[in-house]
Amino acid sequence: MRDVSKIFPRGPKPVEKKITVLTCYDFMFARILEESGVDCILVGDTLGVVYQGQPTTLPVTLDEMIYHAKAVRRGAPNTFIVVDLPFLSYQVSLEEGIRSAGKVMKESGCDAVKFEGGGPEILELIYKLERIGIPVMGHIGLTPQSVNVFGGHKIQGKAEQDKARLISEAKGISDAGAFSIVFELIPSALAKEISESVPIPTIGIGAGAATDGQVLVIYDFLGLNKSFKPKFLKTFLNGYDDVSGAVKNYIQEVRNGSFPGPEHSH
């Protein structure tokens, strides 16, 4: 078991070293991320959108999360891995949430689970899981499983009442025993204020530079979806054009007979 406190240290801010998190859903990418030295891999329910082609994360099932988490663990046996609990795998009841989290931990070999929200029921679930030995990462701001309530992917925490709610949720999640919180699509000034107010590390996506770490979806980070260009995203590779170009070269060489050549033949 990997030590959560070494990667997500609880205590004075800012943390000594910024925390790097990337999503991943398969063996090959997991192996690259581990060998490259990323601190944490998140097996996110974003796989529903970027891997399955669904319009939202809502259709993803618990068994699908476990399937992908197993593949990621095989590719990254020494990396701290967090797995999302998908929609309706933890909201129905406290008992259902405990069962879902336990099933993910037992069957996938992951190190922690993550789920969204900061209401009373969520805080009780975090409290219970922490006390039976299941580490929890929280998630506030834009919570994609509630996209139908928010009316789309919009920045959260602009209004004063929303700011107060997010501050309260973050403190509640920390007090309940979570080891970290993801801030998604929150104004940078508010993210800084909240991060400084809680003793656990904060991980931002679209929340500015003042959080204790950052997370990006690997397909977005690699520039594989050329139509997805939110303000917060920096692409570190021109992946779509690189892959498309390689495919076009392959097609051309097969058709003109230059592949396979003598060096590729037995």
Q: Give the span between the Cα atoms of 143 and 209, in whole angstroms.
A: 20
In this predicted structure, what is the pLDDT of residue 55?
94
State whether 22 and 145 are in the same domain: yes
In this predicted structure, what is the pLDDT of residue 154?
75
State whether 259 and 204 are in the same domain: no
State whether 151 and 117 are in the same domain: yes
In this predicted structure, what is the pLDDT of residue 148?
59
Q: Which of 184, 193, 253, 263 is catalytic?
A: 184
In this predicted structure, what is the pLDDT of residue 155?
86
State whether 180 and 82 are in the same domain: yes
In this predicted structure, what is the pLDDT of residue 1?
61
Residue 16 is among the residues annotated as catalytic for this protein: no
Chain center to CA of 230? 17
Annotated ligand binding at 84? The verdict is yes
State whether 47 and 19 are in the same domain: yes
205: domain CATH number is 3.20.20.60
The angle formed by the CA atoms of residues 127, 132 and 133, to the nearest 5 degrees, is 100
In this predicted structure, what is the pLDDT of residue 153?
65
In this predicted structure, what is the pLDDT of residue 199?
97
Q: What is the DSSP letter of 86?
A: P
Whole-model pTM? 0.95
pLDDT tens readout for residues 241-255: 999 999 999 999 999
**H or E element at residue 105:** helix 94-108
Whether residue 22 contacts residue 215, with contact meaning beta carbons closer than 8 Å, is answered with yes
State whether 131 and 247 are in the same domain: no
Tokens of 73: 């663990």
State whether 203 and 250 are in the same domain: no
Whether residue 112 contacts residue 80, with contact meaning beta carbons closer than 8 Å, is answered with yes
State whether 133 and 224 are in the same domain: yes
Residues 6+ positions from 128 with CB-CB distance below 8 Å: 94, 98
Chain center to CA of 243? 24
Q: Which amino acid appears at position 175 of this protein? A: D
pLDDT tens readout for residues 170-226: 999 999 999 999 999 999 999 999 999 999 999 999 999 999 999 999 999 999 999
Q: Which amino acid appears at position 63 of this protein? A: D
State whether 90 and 213 are in the same domain: yes
State whether 165 and 190 are in the same domain: yes
Annotated ligand binding at 116? The verdict is yes
State whether 188 and 71 are in the same domain: yes
Q: Give the span between the Cα atoms of 223 and 43, in whole angstroms.
A: 19
Domain range for residue 247? 238-265
In this predicted structure, what is the pLDDT of residue 152?
58
State whether 257 and 191 are in the same domain: no
Bridge partners of residue 213, in order along the sequence: 19, 203
β-strand pairing of 202-205 with 180-184: parallel
Mean pLDDT per 10-residue segment, the chain (266 residues)? 90 92 98 98 97 96 98 98 98 98 98 97 98 97 77 78 96 98 97 97 97 97 94 96 98 97 94
| Residue 31 buriedness (CB in 10 A; 0-12 / 13-18 / 19+) | middle
How many domains does the structure of the chain reveal?
2
